[in-house]
Structures are given as structure tokens and as C-alpha cells.
Structure 1
Amino acid sequence: MSREHAMVRELIAVHDGLRRELKELRGAPELTRDLRVRCAYYCHHVEMHHRVESHYLFTMLRARFPESAEVVDRLEREHAKVAEILSAIEQAADVRPELDRLAGELLAHLDYEEEQLAPLLSRL
């Protein structure tokens, strides 16, 4: 995997930001109004990131690399799972258990996405 390609570096930089912020949210010692606001912002950020990926990046990858269909299908399914958890976070009285659940899904998703997409993005 070429981590030197600009698109790969950008993908990893965005993902690393998502990882850092999630770690900070999960490390909050107590449930406060500020934590809820930060969670809402974070959920929106993840949702927008996935929307852009699904609409633009995945569409382009499917057209350019038809052999990527199985990987992209899995990533789309993972986006749907993450979206369900994001919705649960927005509705939860206590967001902390849902943040833990999000970490389990989202962190594995980000790792898989980088592993699978970096070689394709490097070919662009």
C-alpha cells in the first residue's frame, strides 16, 4: 500500500482525525451538555464523511475498478451500521455506551477501508 499517494494520505488524515475525536469523546469523565454538543457535531461530521464517500468516492471506484464491487458493497453496509449507531447516539440519554458501540464498528471500518482502498487510490 502506497501511503505516499495524495489521496491515500488525505483519507488517512481524515480517518485519523475521526479516531482522535472519538477517543476524546469516549474519555470524557462525565456526561455534560458540552459532551452532548460535541457528540452531535461528531456524528454530523462522520455522517457527512460517509455521504461524500458513498456518493463520490465509491461511485468512482465502482466505475474505474469493477473488481472493487465486493469491497465497496461491504463498506456501504458498514456505513449503514455506523449510521444506525449515530442515530442512537443522538437519541440516547447517556451517549457513553453508544460511543463505545460506535468505536467497535467505526474503528474496524476505518482500518478495513484504508487497507482495501489505499491500493486502488494509489492507482489513480
Structure 2
Amino acid sequence: MSRDHALVRELIAVHDGLRRELKELRGAERVTHDLRVRCMYYCHHVETHHTVESLYLFTALRERFPTSGEVIDRLEEEHAKVAEILRAIERAADFREELDRLADELLAHLDWEEEQLTPLLAQLDRWPS
């Protein structure tokens, strides 16, 4: 299925934004107040993105594509792992090591999610509600 499909392009655009911002956060030389604020905003954005996926997109994909259950289960497990790292970032005084852990987990997750969901999203006319 095509990565040119509108829903696929939109998902990739959101993911690419998450990738870019994470790269910028990881590129900081030291932890400053401004970096902490940006990082907390980023963590909230990732958490919100995953919550929306879990509550709406994954639920709808499970209903529409019953054979997608194992894929969705894995994506949900990955969301939980990312959430643990986000909480660790929020607690840490110097969170750069946790940002590296987040990059390892989140970037692999985004790539795999795109690979797995592209064929499903390409079969939809609009985002599930």
C-alpha cells in the first residue's frame, strides 16, 4: 500500500515532527530551565499522541481489521514502555541519559508503527472516529 495515501502521510508527518524535536532536545549541551520546559512540553505531546492513538485509532483498527490484534498489542506495549521513560525524564534533574533511552525506544516504535499501520491506514477514507 502507498505511503502517498493522505492518512499515511499525516501519520508520518506527526512522527517526523516527534523525531525532529527529540533530535533537538538531545543535541543540547546542558540542561537549562528552557530545555526542561521544552522537554516537558515534548513529553506531554508524546503522551497525548499515544493516548489518542490508543483510544481512537487502535480501537478502530482492531474493529475494522480483526487480524491486526497482535500488531496493536505490541504497539500498546511499546506505548507503555515509552510512558515509563517519559515519567523518568520528568523526575530526573539531568534527563539527558533518559532522552537517549527515549530515543532508542521511541524511534524504533515510530518506524515499526509506520511499517505496520501503513497498509491498514491506506484502506481507510478518513481517520476513524
TM-score, normalised to structure 2, is 0.95
In the alignment, which residue of structure 2 is the partner of 1:29? 29
**Match of 2:96, as an amino acid?**
R
**Structure 1 residues 1-124: aligned runs within 5 Å:** 1-124=1-124
Per the TM alignment, residue 93 of structure 1 is displaced from its structure 2 partner at its CA by 1.0
Q: Give unpaired runs (5+ residues) of structure 1.
A: none
Unaligned runs of 5+ in 2: 125-129
Q: Distance in 2 between matches of 1:2 and 1:72?
A: 20
Higher fraction of helix: 1
The TM-score normalised by the length of structure 1 is 0.99
Q: C-alpha separation between the residues in 1 aligned to 2:5 and 2:86? A: 31
Cα distance in 2, alignment partners of residues 6 and 54 from structure 1: 20
SS at the partner of 1:4? coil
SS for the counterpart of 1:29 is: coil
Moved over 6 A (4+): none
C-alpha separation between the residues in 1 aligned to 2:41 and 2:31?
A: 15
**AA of the residue aligned to 1:112:** W
Distance 2:42 2:23 in 1: 11
Instruction: Give percent identity, aligned residues only.
Output: 80
Aligned to 2:127: none
Deviation for aligned residue 1:103:
0.2
**1:42-99 superposed Cα distances (whole Å, 9 cap, x missing partner):** 0000000000000000000000000000000000000000000000000001010000
Counterpart residue identity of residue 23, structure 1: K
Q: CA RMSD in A?
A: 0.5
In 2: Cα distance, 1:39 partner to 1:20 partner: 13
Number of aligned pairs? 124
